[in-house]
Amino acid sequence: METKHPTRFNHLKKWESTLAACIRCGYCYEHCPLFKYTGWESDAPRAKIITAFGLLTGELGPSETAANKLFNCFYCKRCEAACSSGVSLTDIFTDARKDLVEMGYAGPGTTAVTDLTCAQCLLCVAACPHEARFHGENGIETDLVKCQSCGTCVSVCPANAVNILHTFGTGKEDLTQASARFLDTHASAKAIVFACNWSYYPDLQASRLPESETHDKEYDIYVNMCAGRLEPETLMAPFLNHAWGVLVACCPEDDCQHKNGGKRSKQQVKRIQSILENLDIDPERVQVVEIPDGDKTLFQAEIDTFIDHLNTLGPVT
């Protein structure tokens, strides 16, 4: 296969023995938000590891297809938590990205991109928790290797000039539409719960029944990549579809994978509470709770408490 530059995987080479240690068990893909959304194993961590191994051994040539797969990752590290062999998957993906960028292949995958409406205000540069945004020759640019697709830059851009092209169900429109469908199709629906991917460990893909087989529910949970990226429109939209309340779960402020995500989410909730109060609606219909990494027991308890509170308030009138 013809390549744009010499195919030397200098960064990936140090992982040669680790790549061989992967036993291809597949535990990783059950927890991957990309796989859970598409259902295609080619989007899962195991496929990325196999792709990286193929690139390193020469069995695969570098290509736009390989780059797109390796640049599709939210760096949630759920694959690493589930890996039975202790493989540092995201570090391998990062080094594979470095080599591909040097060869002229670069996503964008789930990394942030900036369009021509950018006012170059530098808010995204200051807000990026991974130092992946910078002012370059072409205006505000993204370091495609450093970007971890948290979406912080998307939420702070006043011109809506920053986008993640492949959101895999985590974007503002995705979350708004999904919550609207739930509220419209479940007679008992009362609440929407937005859960940070790090504070909520998603159920196994295999354990989820098709929607047609699930019982009528009072609430539904939607996982986003960082609670700090939730925008006011996303938090207010459920009320337009007759929701009784909205609960946001974020990481503790001192344990946020994207730095100030918990703090930003609390600020957004306060803004929405102020809006509701001005509309003579109980501001406690929107709440935020801190959930330590993977503490599903606490998370369920907080949801149950929130639903009980909504039952005392009744529907929004």
Task: Write out pLDDT tens, residues 46-104.
Answer: 999 999 999 999 998 899 999 999 999 998 888 888 888 889 999 999 999 999 999 99
Residues 38 and 88 in one domain: yes
In a shared domain, residues 151 and 189: no
Q: Structural domain tally of the chain?
A: 3
Give Cα 256 distance to the centre of its chain: 13
Query: Domain check: are 219 and 146 in the same one?
Result: no
d(C-alpha 271, C-alpha 273), whole Å: 5
Among 102, 135, 152, residue at a domain's last position:
102
Both tokens of residue 71? 């640049």
186 occurs within a structural domain? yes
Look at residue 308 and tell me if it is in a domain: yes
Based on the fold, state whether residues 198 and 234 are members of the same structural domain. yes
HSE on the CB side for 131, CA within 13 Å? 0
Q: Quick check: 2 pLDDT over 70? A: no
Residues 305 and 185 in one domain: yes
Asked if the model's pLDDT at residue 236 lies above 50, the reply is: yes
Q: Are residues 97 and 116 in the same domain?
A: no
Whether residues 181 and 307 share a domain: the answer is yes
Global pTM exceeds 0.85:
no
Phi, psi dihedrals of residue 164, rounded to the nearest 5°: -105, 110
Residues 207, 289: one domain?
A: yes
Residues 258 and 230 in one domain: yes
CATH number of the domain within which 144 lies: 3.30.70.20
CATH of the domain at 71: 1.10.1060.10
By residue range, what is the domain housing residue 35? 12-102
126 lies in the same domain as 233: no
Q: Contact, 261 vs 303, CB < 8 A?
A: no
pLDDT on residue 218: 96
Q: Tell whether the model's pLDDT for residue 275 goes beyond 80.
A: yes
Residue 269 has pLDDT above 90, yes or no: yes
